[in-house]
Amino acid sequence: MELRQLQYFLIVAEELHFGRAAERLHIVQSAVSQQVNRLEKELGVALFERTTRTVRLTEAGRRLLPHAEHVRDAVAGARHAVDDLRTERTGTIRLGTSTGLGTRLETIVVEFARLAPDARLELVNAGGDERIKRVRSGELDAAVVRGPREAPGLELLPLWSDALVAAIPARHDLAVLREIELSALAGLPLRVVGRSRNSALHDLMVDSCRRAGSEQIFGPELPTEQDTLAAIGFGPPSWTVYYAAMAAQLSFPGVVFRPLRDPEPMMPNFLAVRPDPPRAELRALISACHVAGD
């Protein structure tokens, strides 16, 4: 039994979707399936029930899950113990990030280098809940997170708010407008990530649509960003949202991006840190993050 097999098993168990698991791991789906199949063969049991539409844990998978989580946490603890020594020696700061930060991330990197020229900033991309977990365990020194949330044992330092823009079909009548009232999109299915995967974004859009006086119709969630944009550009009319900084760097045939208003959805961002007195390098990072929000 290999650590990699347990890692893939855990991510499939969290996503209950081999495609999304592969996307998180930045590998092809066949590689995920192959490693899970090898683990099942070694254990002599099926860990997942698979159909063309659903993936569910079997009883064997449910029994393996807490043991796999224990192994993962033990490995993370061992790495943390060694990383702590390395950090003390090198002045490294490990910052959890996500997609869609745009030029703000560039500003953080440049400003940190100016404020702490002898330190090194290591960027670690992970999901929101995973970033929080790694800050709490000490694997990360800090993490940028979106949306208000419960984070026991951590401090959430307010940073900036990001505007969300609509991605709509270029052929739609609304595409001729420079900005779109949110209520005008009420009849189009919204393809946005499910609440179980990103509660902050999902709840923000539900609340914004209600403030606009409409109950939003949600379209089926697609496994990848490219699939979603293709469906919007060339499928039945639908729409999604992107952070404005991310949309400025995107281009996809058949899709246009438009600012939203009445209301304009705004996502607050925070820097999650442990409540310990910050060392000099972390203070430099906090200052760099505030500069990025100006």
For residue 94, the domain's CATH number is 3.40.190.10
Model confidence pLDDT, tens digit, residues 29-42:
888 899 999 999 99
Q: Are 44 and 60 in contact (CB under 8 A)?
A: no
| Same-domain pairing of 144 and 283 | yes
Q: Are 37 and 28 in contact (CB under 8 A)?
A: no
| Same-domain pairing of 183 and 237 | yes
Averaged pLDDT, 203-214: 91
Q: How far apart are CA 173 and CA 168, in angstroms?
A: 10
Model confidence pLDDT, tens digit, residues 234-252:
999 999 999 998 888 888 9
**Does residue 193 lie in a domain region?**
yes
Read off the pTM.
Answer: 0.66
**Does residue 79 lie in a domain region?**
no
| Same-domain pairing of 202 and 260 | yes
**Does residue 111 lie in a domain region?**
yes
| Same-domain pairing of 130 and 272 | yes
Q: Other C-beta atoms within 10 Å of 15: how many?
A: 19
| Same-domain pairing of 95 and 32 | no
**Does residue 78 lie in a domain region?**
no
**Does residue 76 lie in a domain region?**
no
Domain boundary among 23, 38, 71: 71
Q: Which domain holds residue 61?
A: 3-71
| Same-domain pairing of 241 and 281 | no
**Does residue 83 lie in a domain region?**
no
pLDDT-based confidence at residue 145 (cuts at 50, 70, 90) = very high
Please report, for the domain that includes residue 26, its CATH number: 1.10.10.10
| Same-domain pairing of 243 and 282 | no
Q: How far apart are CA 73 and CA 66, in angstroms?
A: 10
Model confidence pLDDT, tens digit, residues 28-79:
888 889 999 999 999 999 999 998 888 999 999 999 999 989 988 888 888 7
Total domains, the chain = 3
CA of residue 239 relative to chain centroid, distance:
19
Q: Other C-beta atoms within 10 Å of 249: how many?
A: 10
| Same-domain pairing of 261 and 198 | yes
| Same-domain pairing of 107 and 248 | no
Does residue 87 surpass a pLDDT of 60? no
Please report, for the domain that includes residue 197, its CATH number: 3.40.190.290
Averaged pLDDT, 213-221: 83
| Same-domain pairing of 140 and 286 | yes
Q: Which pLDDT belongs to residue 220?
A: 83
**Does residue 189 lie in a domain region?**
yes
**Does residue 81 lie in a domain region?**
no
